[in-house]
Amino acid sequence: MIKRLRSRLMLIICLMVIIPNIVIALFATNSAKSQLQNKMEDTTQSSVTLLNKLIDTMVQMEVSNVNQLANQITSEDIDQHSVKARKLINDYKAQHPEIEVVSIGNDNGAWMKSPDPGQEEFDPRTRAWYTLAKKYPSQAMVADPSVSFSTHKYVLTISKTLPDRLGVVNLSLSIAELDKIVKNIHLGNKGYLYLMDRNNIMLSHPLLKTGEKAKGAQLEVMGRQREGFLEYVNTDTNVLQHAYYTTNSSTAFKIVGVLPDSEYAKAVAPIFYTSVIVLVISVAIVLVLLFFIIRGITRPIEQLNRSAIRVSEGHLDEQVLTKRKDEIGTLAGNYNGMVASLRRMVIEMGDTSGQLAASSEELNASTEMNAKSVELVSNLVSESSEGAQIQALATEETARTIEEMTRGIQKIAESAGMIVDSSGRTEEDVHAGSRKIRQVSEQMDTILHSTMESAELMEQLHDHSANIAAMSTAIAEISKQTNLLSLNAAIEAARAGEHGRGFAVVADEVRKLADQSNITAADIQQTIVKMTELIGNAFDVMKNKVQADVNQGLGVTAEALEAFVNIEQSAKQISDQVQDISAVTEQMSASSQEISAAIHEVAGISRQTVDSFERVNAASQEQLASMEEITSSAAGLARMATDMQTMIDRFKMEK
């Protein structure tokens, strides 16, 4: 046990030392990592800013140079391939190795280049740098990087319109030169810079080729903002990277500085290892010190433990001697006092154990006599309780029967009430039906009047059709007369010879018109005859059949109205009878409820009686059980006195 206590103390104190040291080490490591990360991010930002300024400087220098060249060359020099223009562009190319090609061209399609490529199918007017410079003639223009027509390499073109605005000077800045500058800038051990244009085309990257399309979720963030910090996972290496980027104002290039996440971990590793070594050394020193300290604490406890074992074996003459003045010395003194008190208590218990045994025997005899008396009373109460319980059950059964009958009567009353409501609604529906039948009868009268008016109108239409037929006959007569007139005119025209030819043509047209009018009149006559027949038929149907049907409908409506009146009287009689039945049923329901209440009251009294008997019986049983317990306790007390005497005899006490 002492060994376990020593181990626990060692473990607890070690944990108290190790855990704070671990927390401090982790805090120091994280703090150092955060500071290093800030420093490395500042370095990355400084490198990106420096490269951005360098590119701005290079571009501004080339802009200044292209402005100077443009002011010294004319469109006529290009047409004539003048020696002056050739010398200017050659000298400039020789003095600026970062320039791939110097090109000049004019609106006539003439051009010159340095270095001279010789014969080449080249039209400067089709190049992007030419059209851009012509679009903005007042300033030098920097176009997006493109592949050079002459060298087939990526270049950054800077162009300027000539003063006469008939030509353009262009400088093709080598992207390869920019690539060398970018790759000479290092960030940490594995960090790097890369350069891409506004279309996400790589111009300089340690792992990707120039002209390759960049990819990744970081491009969307870079497109929205001009500069800032971001974290993203490289899609090619699946490595978490920390980056700072900015946008060059002269070229719209994205300049990005990248540091992999492992760079921070490697920078913090020495600090972490140092913290671990310090932790191990401190724990070792603490363990050595703890061994001696805990051993000094546990030695007196071991003496107390050995003494307690002897006391448990019955030796009450034990005493622990110690010179310590701390809590352990106080514990040893208290232990010695406890052993002395225990010795005195054992002596006193030995004296009283004999008296306890005699008293327990007398108590046992008395409790046996009381137990027999209580048992007799309990039997009598149990018999009375059973009779009262049977009576209560019978009363409850009667009450349940009355309740069921009451519920049946209530249901009958509810059904009668529902029938009364239904009868009332039926009577209302019959009233509504009677009103609708009266409306139908009135509507049928209206239809009869409308039918008679329609018949009169049909008759008038029949008379008008007869007049139209007479008019058609008159038109036919007029057509015949016109035909005769045209025939006479034709005869007279024939007599007149050459002078009557024109009149003969008119007579022929009049005859054709008369024939057509005659045909039309015949068609009208036939149509009128058919229409007259149809109108006559409609008039007969309207006057005879429709009117007869309406009269028959009026008769049926009158019969339905009489039937609804009879139904209304019958429904009223039924409603009165059902109301009488409902009143009688409600009286029966009230009477049955009074009877049920009385039966319930009787049943409650019976239950109270049964409960009283049960309580008396329970009290008797409890008293009997108590007497039995007292008897058992008295017997147990006697045994305990005997056992106590035996236990006291175990102790060895020196007189």
CATH number at residue 36: 3.30.450.20
Distance in angstroms (rounded) separating the CA atoms of residues 101 and 111 = 13
Distance in angstroms (rounded) separating the CA atoms of residues 212 and 208 = 7
- Same-domain status, 561 and 447: yes
Long-range contacts of 353-359, Cβ-Cβ distance < 8 Å, separation of 24 or more = 353/641, 353/644, 353/645, 353/648, 354/641, 354/645, 356/637, 356/640, 356/641, 356/644, 357/638, 357/641, 357/642, 357/645
The answer to whether residue 382 is domain-embedded is yes
| CB-CB contact of 307 with 320 (8 Å) | yes
Series of mean pLDDT values for 10-residue runs along the chain (655 residues): 64 75 73 72 88 91 91 91 91 90 92 88 90 92 88 90 93 89 83 89 87 86 89 82 90 90 68 75 78 70 72 69 70 74 70 61 61 59 59 62 64 62 64 66 68 67 66 69 73 73 71 73 72 68 63 65 63 63 61 60 61 61 64 66 65 55
Distance in angstroms (rounded) separating the CA atoms of residues 218 and 220 = 5
pLDDT at residue 43, rounded to an integer:
85
| CB-CB contact of 29 with 265 (8 Å) | no
pLDDT at residue 24, rounded to an integer:
74
**Planar angle of CA 169, 65, 80, nearest 5 degrees:** 35
The answer to whether residue 309 is domain-embedded is no
Distance in angstroms (rounded) separating the CA atoms of residues 648 and 415 = 88
- Same-domain status, 436 and 558: yes
CATH number at residue 620: 1.10.287.950
Residues making up the chain, counted from first to last: 655
Nearest partner of 550 among 45, 639, 320, 558, judged by Cα: 558
Quick one: the chain helix, strand, coil %, rounded to 5?
75, 10, 15
DSSP character string of 70-123: HHH--HHHHHHT-HHHHHHHHHHHHH-TTEEEEEEEETTS-EEEES---S----
Beta carbons within 8 Å of 538's beta carbon, 6+ residues apart: 458
Tokens, residue 183: 């790759």
| CB-CB contact of 581 with 423 (8 Å) | no
The answer to whether residue 288 is domain-embedded is no
The answer to whether residue 304 is domain-embedded is no
CA distances 587 to 88, 149, 579, 597, Å, are 131, 117, 13, 16
User: What total of structural domains would you count in the chain?
Assistant: 2
CA distances 394 to 398, 593, 606, 610, Å, are 6, 19, 10, 13
The residue among 223, 246, 267 that closes a domain is 267
CA distances 254 to 183, 188, 246, 251, 460, Å, are 15, 21, 6, 9, 98
Distance in angstroms (rounded) separating the CA atoms of residues 141 and 52 = 18
| CB-CB contact of 73 with 91 (8 Å) | no
The answer to whether residue 214 is domain-embedded is yes
| CB-CB contact of 322 with 329 (8 Å) | yes
- Same-domain status, 567 and 443: yes
CA distances 357 to 349, 361, 366, 368, 646, Å, are 12, 7, 15, 17, 13
| CB-CB contact of 653 with 343 (8 Å) | yes
- Same-domain status, 384 and 505: yes
The residue among 236, 252, 267 that closes a domain is 267
Distance in angstroms (rounded) separating the CA atoms of residues 54 and 246 = 13
The answer to whether residue 475 is domain-embedded is yes
Q: Containing domain of residue 148, as a range?
A: 20-267
pLDDT at residue 655, rounded to an integer:
47
- Same-domain status, 31 and 154: yes
- On the CB side of 345, CA atoms within 13 Å amount to 9
Tokens, residue 103: 């090109």
Nearest partner of 419 among 585, 531, 257, judged by Cα: 585
The answer to whether residue 318 is domain-embedded is no
The residue among 250, 267, 284 that closes a domain is 267
CA distances 56 to 25, 52, 249, 281, 577, Å, are 46, 6, 8, 56, 112
- Same-domain status, 443 and 558: yes
- Same-domain status, 248 and 372: no
Burial status of residue 371 (CB atoms within 10 A of its CB: 0-12, 13-18, 19 or more): middle
The answer to whether residue 116 is domain-embedded is yes
Nearest partner of 467 among 409, 538, 531, judged by Cα: 531
